[in-house]
Amino acid sequence: MTALRNHVGRLRALAGLTQRQLAERTGVSRQAIGAIEGGATSCGVGVALRIATALGCRVEELFEFESETLHADLPVDDPNAPGARRVALGVIRGRPIARTLRGAQGRFWGTHAAQGLVLRSDGSGGAEIQRLRATEDSVFLVGCDPALGLLAAHAARSKAAPEVFWWHVGNDQAQRELVEHRTHAAAVHRTAGAEEPSFPFPVVRVRVASWQLGWIVASGNPKGIASPADLARADVTLVNREAGSGSRGLLDRLLGEAGVPATQVRGYGHEAAGHAEVAEAVRLGVADAGLGLALAAHVAGLDFVPVEVHACDLYLPRDELEQPPIRVLLDALAAGRFRRDLEAFGPYDTSESGDRIERPGRLRDRRP
């Protein structure tokens, strides 16, 4: 079963036109434009051509027949996939991609309305999806910085209003998902002197913000934790991050420099899925310390001992930058109101937010 959907309103908003302005350029009434956008009426070929000309697009971009079901990629290694039915739907390099909403927004329960429901999985990376809402405007973000959630909210307030989904994952997984075309953008954080991530295709790096990574400890730091050597004490329990995360990499480097074997650290194997979970473990007294973001300590009312400054960057394939939803996302990131809101949100340095640098790929991307 199919239905006709139109994209006139979205494309008009991206062109920066009001309904009245589009009506004047096409020689029809504003009411007619409103009825076309709302699906209350169809338009003839002549009007469709004039609308397409005014918006700088092709007629086939204005309207499409969509199936109520579609086949989409659904990665079998998604830890949230077993038994999950609610999904977000996106298009990456012309391929429909489904991602489970369980775990979206850095929490176990996704708060987004589902765009689709999994009817059946083929067990090899694909699934038949019942479509509930549009997919072409969706943007997928992965990374561990809570600023991504704020960025998604700002992008959603734009005229074109794409739906932006954020999944909380560590550095290594974020890079892997971008390489495998499972996300539109990947956030990676690192110190100023650390090696930059390498991708098999040209990318653009866009600065999100800079922030401090350090020891999250109880209010007043009653055990005086200030260095990796303190983790070897019998009265100190650590909460760790998962392998592949930036915090885990920093911890292992600090322990190595201090000559402290991981086997001597009580709680080294106790892993938290994100900065907020590290702070929560310390707040509840389950652990005495953990490496995390200054914001997480600030929100939880805990003390923070800074270790080093990290910059968080968003990486996007260069050939995807002109997609309308991506343009909206990057415009939101560069906007002054996002920077001001982020600075009020927590201890972030936004002086370089929105700055872009192009990076060449190391190999030719052969994925179709």
Whether the predicted pLDDT of 367 surpasses 50: no
Clarify whether residues 84 and 192 are in a common domain: yes
- Is 367 among the domain residues? no
Specify the range with the lowest mean pLDDT, choosing from 105-109, 301-305, 336-340. Answer: 105-109
Q: How much is the pLDDT for 112?
A: 75
- Is 96 among the domain residues? yes
Looking up residue 263, the CATH number of its domain turns out to be 3.40.190.10
Clarify whether residues 88 and 228 are in a common domain: no
Q: What is the pLDDT of residues 135-171, one digit of tens each?
A: 667 899 999 999 999 999 999 887 666 789 999 888 9
Whether the predicted pLDDT of 66 surpasses 80: no
Q: What is the pLDDT of residues 199-257, one digit of tens each?
A: 999 999 999 999 999 999 999 999 999 999 999 999 999 999 999 899 999 999 999 99
Q: How much is the pLDDT for 71?
A: 86
Quote the domain boundaries for residue 234. 212-310
- Is 170 among the domain residues? yes
- Is 365 among the domain residues? no
pLDDT averaged over every residue in the chain: 86
Clarify whether residues 347 and 218 are in a common domain: no
Whether the predicted pLDDT of 341 surpasses 90: yes
Clarify whether residues 62 and 78 are in a common domain: no
- Is 364 among the domain residues? no
Q: How much is the pLDDT for 337?
A: 94
Specify the range with the lowest mean pLDDT, choosing from 72-86, 170-184, 206-220, 247-261. Answer: 72-86
Q: How much is the pLDDT for 172?
A: 92
Q: How much is the pLDDT for 77?
A: 55
- Is 366 among the domain residues? no
Residues of the chain above pLDDT 90, percent:
52
Interval 24-43 mean pLDDT: 84
Last residue of one domain, picked from the residues 66, 83, 103 = 66
Q: What is the pLDDT of residues 293-329, one digit of tens each?
A: 999 999 999 999 999 999 999 999 999 888 888 989 9
Q: How much is the pLDDT for 230?
A: 96
Looking up residue 58, the CATH number of its domain turns out to be 1.10.260.40
Q: How much is the pLDDT for 163?
A: 86
Clarify whether residues 347 and 282 are in a common domain: no
Clarify whether residues 186 and 77 are in a common domain: yes
- Is 341 among the domain residues? yes
Task: Place 365 in a pLDDT band, splitting at 50, 70 and 90.
Answer: very low
Clarify whether residues 106 and 198 are in a common domain: yes
Clarify whether residues 223 and 306 are in a common domain: yes
Question: Could you write out the three-class secondary structure of the chain?
Answer: CEEEEECHHHHHHHCCCCHHHHHHHHCCCHHHHHHHHCCCCCCCHHHHHHHHHHHCCCHHHHEEEEECEEEEECCCCCCCCCCCCEEEEEEECCEEEEEECCCECCCCCCCCCCCEEEEEECCCCEEEEEECCCCCCCEEEEECCCHHHHHHHHHCCCCCCCCEEEEECCHHHHHHHHHCCCCCEEEEEECCCCCCCCCCCCEEEEEEEEEEEEEEECCCCCCCCCCHHHHHCCCCCECEECCCCHHHHHHHHHHHHHCCCHHHCCCCCCEECCHHHHHHHHHCCCCCEEEEEHHHHHHHCCEEEEEEEEEEEEEEEHHHCCCHHHHHHHHHHHCHHHHHHHHHHCCCECCCCCCEEEECCCCCCCCC
Whether the predicted pLDDT of 60 surpasses 80: no
- Is 245 among the domain residues? yes
Clarify whether residues 10 and 80 are in a common domain: no
Last residue of one domain, picked from the residues 66, 86, 116 = 66
Q: How much is the pLDDT for 74?
A: 85
Task: Place 108 in a pLDDT band, splitting at 50, 70 and 90.
Answer: very low
Task: Place 106 in a pLDDT band, splitting at 50, 70 and 90.
Answer: very low
Tokens of 1: 């079963």
Task: Place 277 in a pLDDT band, splitting at 50, 70 and 90.
Answer: very high
Clarify whether residues 53 and 26 are in a common domain: yes
Domain count, the chain: 3
Looking up residue 124, the CATH number of its domain turns out to be 3.40.190
Clarify whether residues 75 and 197 are in a common domain: yes
Clarify whether residues 287 and 353 are in a common domain: no
Whether the CB-CB separation of 303 and 219 falls below 8 Å is answered with: yes
Interval 87-93 mean pLDDT: 89
Whether the predicted pLDDT of 342 surpasses 60: yes
